[in-house]
Amino acid sequence: MALGYRLGEGKLQKSLTWLFGLAATWFLLYPLREVLTQWSPIVGIQRPVPLIAFTTAGFVSVPAFFYFLQRRRRTLGIFGMGAALVVLLMVQSGAYIAFMVTFMALLVLQLGDLSWWIRRLVTAGSVLALVLPLLGQIPGRLGEPVGLETVLEQLRTLAGVEEPGVGSWLHRLSSWPQVIQMVVESPLGPVVGVGFGPDLFQGFTIGPGVLVRKPHNDFLEIWARMGLVGFIPWIAVLLLLMLEALRGVRHNSDNAWVLALQITLWVTSFGQPAMGFAYVTVVWTGLTGLWLGAQIRLRR
């Protein structure tokens, strides 16, 4: 926030152009991630440098797309949207849902400005038309070719259809009721939680003996581990930030990216351990804090 206040809205926008541009360009190397990560030493269970985590890529691609959608410099905006779109299509169903929810939210907020939507839809459609012919040559996260068909396959897994990735989703759906039962059966569990010790993912492991423990639903985990005592204040913070982002978009459509950022956090946290790891929380808190600082300075 302090840095955002110091930069102000104008300088922050220029800095974000570089930040989102570099991030989208870096994440375009995602198909080469296996080669790149072999250069890194093993720390814990990962080779962290250079780390291209699919959750981070998907998380950044959504606000990056809506940031570049608003750029006045058309060439830069088209390149940025194209890069963000390719990254988005390479990663995960949660990012697709966040993209659609953000799009619908902006449609409602900007409903009165028909010309705004016509210009933006023409631009986005043109970028998609340029990008689609290239996508079939790029391998996605689950080994499937990147394209709209793969997007539909990923979204169908949410309904239990047998498509790539459905197994992990079905495991989450079966484990969440067990987490709720564990909390309800614990003395004062719904109020104060069960603490940070218990495994909330029913013994799910990755690799040799690496216990996951997190139920891949941050809202459920926060309530399960800390009860309503921890859940209510945290949800209040998230709601306040969402309302501030909505206020920012109504004031200036250039702030669409920060609304996309908040929506993406909510959606990602419902099906991933997003709030529990730095690869999402550092990005979210950093970008949100920068924007809030600039807004505070603007309103003084």
DSSP state of 48: -
What range defines the domain where residue 277 resides? 2-299
DSSP state of 211: E
**Of the spans 76-80, 205-209, 235-239, which averages the highest pLDDT?**
235-239
Angle at alpha carbon of residue 254, lines to 131 and 4, rounded to 5°: 115
Residue 76 near residue 17 (C-beta atoms within 8 A): yes
Higher pLDDT, 254 or 137: 254
Note the pLDDT tens digit of each residue in 126-141.
777 777 776 666 666 6
Residue 27 near residue 54 (C-beta atoms within 8 A): no
Per-residue pLDDT band at 271 (split at 50, 70, 90): confident
Strand locations in 103-199 (E): none
Note the pLDDT tens digit of each residue in 21-38.
888 887 777 777 677 767
Residue 34: partners with Cβ closer than 8 Å, 6 or more residues away: none
Burial of residue 65 (number of CB atoms within 10 Å: 0-12, 13-18, 19+) = buried
- Split into its structural domains, the chain has a count of 1
Q: Which of left, alpha, beta for 227 (phi over 0: left; psi -120 to 50: alpha)?
A: left
Residue 175 near residue 202 (C-beta atoms within 8 A): yes
Note the pLDDT tens digit of each residue in 36-90.
767 766 655 555 555 556 667 778 888 998 898 877 666 677 778 888 877 787 7
Beta-bridge mates of residue 139: 145
